[in-house]
Amino acid sequence: MRFMDIRETAEYLNVSVSWLYKNATRSGLVVYRFGAGVNSKIRFDVSEIEAWVKQQRVVGE
């Protein structure tokens, strides 16, 4: 697995970091948390992000 941090993921998806914090799990993105408490790091699996992007495709518009 290859992971992206929150900023890399936000840039890849062209959304803000704050949007990603608020809406990642609600939107169906899988979040990986490494560590505990305030020092934990949030990461996203690159292949899961790419799969999620493909699912967002709207056909016929």
Domain range summary for the chain, segments of one domain joined by +: 3-55
pLDDT tens, residue order, the chain (61 aa): 899 999 999 999 999 999 999 999 999 999 999 999 888 999 999 999 999 999 988 887 6
Nearest to 5 by CA among 35, 39, 46, 37: 46
What does the chain come to in residues?
61
pTM of the model: 0.84
Supply 18's token pair. 């704050």
- Residue 10 near residue 16, CB atoms below 8 Å: yes
